[in-house]
A and B are shown apart, each in its own frame.
Chain A
Amino acid sequence: MKPTTKLADLILLLCFAAAVAAGPVILAPIGAGYPDLLDKFVIYGIFAVGFNILFGLTGYLSFGHAAFLGVGSYAAVWSFKLISMDLLPAVLASVVLSGLLALVIGFVSLRRSGIYFSILTLAFAQMCYNMAYSVLTPITNGETGLRVLRDDPRVLDAALGRTGFTPSLAGLEMTGWTGYYVSGAILVIAFAISIAIFRSPFGMTLRAIKSNQKRMGYTGYNTRPFLLTAFVISGMYAGLAGSLLAATDPLAGAERMQWTASGEVVLMTILGGAGTLLGPVLGTGLIKYFENIFSAYNAHQLDVTFSFLPDGVREWVVHGLGLFVGEGWALTLGLLFMGVVIFLPGGIMEGIMRLGRLKRTPIVKSLGDSPQRDVIGERAIDEMPPEDGSAPARKEAPKGETHAGEPQKPVKSSEMKAATS
């Protein structure tokens, strides 16, 4: 992580805001310039940005974040039912409720780390999912899903004499382009907060926990409160995304809490690049875009697309591709998942950075006072036989040097010192 100036962050934020504002125009040529899809980009973007604060910064892999999304949705729909169709109380209710849930789940789950933490969060999310389908049916309306009805009380609306039936923010209805811009503005704010967290001493502490939690303990840090705070923040982000989902489509169902949904946000984050600012948003966009395209295709459309091929070949191509589109989108998603983890663990952002490095600096041969010194030093260590003498590990070693994180370690630690002193 290069030291960044406030100005650079501001420029990043402004560019991001501009990109969100110009989203409909930029994405129109690839057929994504319509509000429904853009809404998804933006809302799941918020979800992923929040998830990244936990996973990207601390390395704690939560497999139960969909629970917070689901709870956020339910809270928002209840707010639409009982208080008002206005977005503000709904967002507040969702964020507070999912934050509280995250506090409880995080308090228990963070007693363990690593794989235990993943399994515990997964167990909690499954518990919420099962409860939404069984005990809590009076609140969640079970499989049918919770929806807003015309004759719901809506105390505040009744008092103010408002009769609107679509979720709105201070009169702006959350449909079509207005809906997109309201959600987009919220995404920009969420992104700004995420930048602030990344640059703050708090974010630096989280990163230090990721790189070596034990050492943090030795320096006198009690890491758990920091982790819990990160967990709650990311839970609140998920709740916020859930309430926006409910606002664009006022129907909350338990399937949003299923653990495959938790898996999806993990995929979005790592596809883009966990621990980077822009990565999660990029990953979300890509996944939601391809989901939209792939699941819309069917055999007939493939036939039309490949009509230029000779008949026999076309049948084969259509049959083969047919496995991956439409109903088979999940298969593509699974393969994508594996491909990203195997070949590009740092995600797209790392890919871009690697490309940039290839172009900019040729590998320096001497170990002298060159900017590449640390990289080569690391490689020299990597290429030594590993301690346990196992063969595959040696093959793996040269790959390790390309990890984005490693060459930058020295900078990171000095930066950390500066931040903690």
Chain B
Amino acid sequence: MDAIILQIMNGLDKGAAYALIALGLTLAFGTLGVVNFAHGALFMLGAFCAVTLQKLLTLETVKIDPTRTTPWGTPLEIRTPYVQDMLGDWGRVLIDYSVPVSILIAIPVMLLIGVALERGLIRFFYKRPHADQILVTFGLAIVLQEIVKQIFGANSIPQAAPAIASGSLAITDAIVYPYWRMVYLVFSLLVIGAVFAFLQLTTFGMVVRAGMQDRETVGLLGINVERRFTIVFGIAAIVAGLAGVMYTPIVPPDYHMGMDFLVLSFVVVVVGGMGSLPGAVLAGFLLGIVQSFASMNEIKSLIPGIDQIIIYLVAVVVLLVRPRGLMGRKGVMES
């Protein structure tokens, strides 16, 4: 029983990441009708927002203290980060909380990147075949990934969660759950909730939903749908970026983390039903949990290697049984 609860909890935070990325993918797809293979790269860029902030915050001044020496006899170097110099204890707190603080940076940065991508590249591809969209965003993903690689190197850069959240919660002896994963789960639920609230409760969201249903009619009513869809693409980029920022303490970011997540997220979107936002979230959590069950030792000894392929197997089965996915609507992407 303990093992089952533990696996469900483990699956939830991975599922939360899948759900966030799949949500962004679906948003972009549902509004613009564009299949965005660069979405994983946006996730990666978000993670590197956190890396950048941490690097900036930990820029150090080096003072040499001539009165004290190191055990090797050289004068002791005292390294203090600039922020700590300037802000004192607040600086230390800021460094400790660099990952959550990067959210504040990631939001405008990702919005800017998202809008720039949409206006600069993707809008030229509305009328092109889906194959072209896939190819151009695939190329874009490679480019973004390589740029990050040139700047930050090929190795992964570990990020620390704030000290207060770096421990684990021991519910029982067998169930030990890191605080940060809990934070991630709550955070992603908040983000998902915010996106849904934005779409359901605001006028802007109402127009967007109407546009997703019937773009032409909304356009005929004299509403500039395009501009709203551009902003929605920006929001999708923010969602992916935030998922990346908060994921950094769980898995150290490297330049190809986006690609690894992207393939899975596409599977998630397909399982959930292309174009269905609740479907994407549901399928994300579901597949996260399924995957974490499959990586239990008992199951792995029964069917070796199942943890590597379970998601794909589930996707194949779902597509064969319910070709539109769990919550897919009729008529989406069926030309």
Tell me the A residues contacting B by CB distance below 8 Å: 55, 59, 61, 63, 108, 111-116, 118-120, 122-124, 126-127, 130-131, 133-136, 214, 259-260, 263, 266-267, 270, 323, 328, 330-331, 333-338, 341-342, 345, 387-393, 396
Min CB distance B149 to A, Å, is 8
CB-CB under 8 A from A126, the residues of chain B are 263, 312
Q: If the complex has contacts A111-B320, A259-B263, A342-B136, are A328 and B130 also in contact, measured as CB distance less than 8 A?
A: no
Is B319 within 8 A of A270, CB to CB? no
Q: At the interface with chain A, which of B14-22, B84-92, B184-192, B266-274?
A: B266-274
Contacts A126-B312, A333-B142 given; 17 further ones with Cβ under 8 A? Answer: A59-B129, A108-B319, A114-B333, A115-B130, A119-B267, A120-B319, A122-B263, A123-B266, A124-B312, A130-B309, A136-B305, A263-B138, A338-B143, A341-B135, A342-B124, A345-B128, A392-B126
Min CB distance A280 to B, Å, is 15
Q: If the complex has contacts A108-B316, A111-B323, A135-B304, are A266 and B135 also in contact, measured as CB distance less than 8 A?
A: yes
CA A115 to CA B304, docked complex, whole Å: 31
Q: Which of A114, A130, A260, A331 contacts B147 (CB 8 A)?
A: A331
Is B319 within 8 A of A112, CB to CB? yes
Please tell me if B140 contacts chain A, counting CB pairs below 8 Å. Answer: yes
Please tell me if B60 contacts chain A, counting CB pairs below 8 Å. Answer: no
Q: Which of B147, B305, B323 contacts A134 (CB 8 A)?
A: B305
Q: If the complex has contacts A123-B316, A270-B135, A330-B146, are A115 and B140 also in contact, measured as CB distance less than 8 A?
A: no
CB-defined A-B contacts under 8 Å, sample of 15: A59-B129, A108-B316, A111-B319, A114-B130, A116-B319, A118-B131, A119-B267, A122-B263, A123-B267, A134-B304, A134-B305, A135-B305, A328-B150, A334-B141, A390-B226
Min CB distance B119 to A, Å, is 10
Most buried by B among A124, A266, A330, A342: A342
Most buried by A among B138, B147, B316, B320: B138
CB-CB under 8 A from A260, the residues of chain B are 142, 259
Most buried by B among A127, A260, A263: A127
1/0 per residue B305-319: CB within 8 Å of A? 100110011011001
CA A111 to CA B312, docked complex, whole Å: 16
Is A388 within 8 A of B219, CB to CB? yes
Which residues 284-335 in B have Cβ within 8 Å of A in the complex? Answer: 304-305, 308-309, 312-313, 315-316, 319-320, 323, 333-335
Please tell me if B101 contacts chain A, counting CB pairs below 8 Å. Answer: no
CB-CB under 8 A from B216, the residues of chain A are 387-388
CB-CB under 8 A from B35, the residues of chain A are 115
1/0 per residue B139-157: CB within 8 Å of A? 1111101110010000000
Q: Which of A123, A333, A387, A396 contacts B315 (CB 8 A)?
A: A123
CA A333 to CA B316, docked complex, whole Å: 31
Is A337 within 8 A of B126, CB to CB? no
Please tell me if B2 contacts chain A, counting CB pairs below 8 Å. Answer: no
Min CB distance A393 to B, Å, is 6
CB-CB under 8 A from A113, the residues of chain B are 335
CA A188 to CA B308, docked complex, whole Å: 39
Is B312 within 8 A of A123, CB to CB? yes
Is B308 within 8 A of A130, CB to CB? yes
Please tell me if B134 contacts chain A, counting CB pairs below 8 Å. Answer: yes
Which residues 103-147 in B have Cβ within 8 Å of A in the complex? Answer: 121, 123-124, 126-132, 134-136, 138-143, 145-147
CA A108 to CA B312, docked complex, whole Å: 12
Min CB distance A352 to B, Å, is 20
Q: If the complex has contacts A323-B150, A337-B135, are A134 and B333 also in contact, measured as CB distance less than 8 A?
A: no
CB-CB under 8 A from A115, the residues of chain B are 35, 130, 134, 274, 333
Residue of B nearest to A335 (CB): B143
Min CB distance B72 to A, Å, is 35
Min CB distance A113 to B, Å, is 8
Min CB distance B93 to A, Å, is 38
Please tell me if B215 contacts chain A, counting CB pairs below 8 Å. Answer: yes
Q: Which of A120, A337, A388, A392 contacts B123 (CB 8 A)?
A: A392
Min CB distance A212 to B, Å, is 10
CA A173 to CA B324, docked complex, whole Å: 52
Min CB distance A126 to B, Å, is 5
Residue of B nearest to A330 (CB): B146
CB-CB under 8 A from B226, the residues of chain A are 390-392
Is A338 within 8 A of B140, CB to CB? yes
Is A393 within 8 A of B333, CB to CB? no
Is B132 within 8 A of A345, CB to CB? yes
CB-CB under 8 A from A392, the residues of chain B are 123-124, 126, 226
Q: Which of A55, A341, A388 contacts B132 (CB 8 A)?
A: A341
Residue of B nearest to A337 (CB): B139
Min CB distance A270 to B, Å, is 7
Residue of A nearest to B313 (CB): A127
CA A393 to CA B128, docked complex, whole Å: 10
Residue of B nearest to A395 (CB): B124
CA A259 to CA B40, docked complex, whole Å: 14
Residue of B nearest to A391 (CB): B226
CA A311 to CA B321, docked complex, whole Å: 66
Min CB distance B274 to A, Å, is 7
CB-CB under 8 A from A136, the residues of chain B are 305
Residue of A nearest to B256 (CB): A260
CA A391 to CA B313, docked complex, whole Å: 43
CA A419 to CA B81, docked complex, whole Å: 76
CB-CB under 8 A from A387, the residues of chain B are 216
Is A116 within 8 A of B267, CB to CB? no
CA A58 to CA B333, docked complex, whole Å: 18
CA A388 to CA B215, docked complex, whole Å: 8
CA A336 to CA B334, docked complex, whole Å: 31
Min CB distance B257 to A, Å, is 15
Min CB distance B58 to A, Å, is 26
Is A334 within 8 A of B124, CB to CB? no
Q: Which of B130, B219, B309, B319 contacts A390 (CB 8 A)?
A: B219
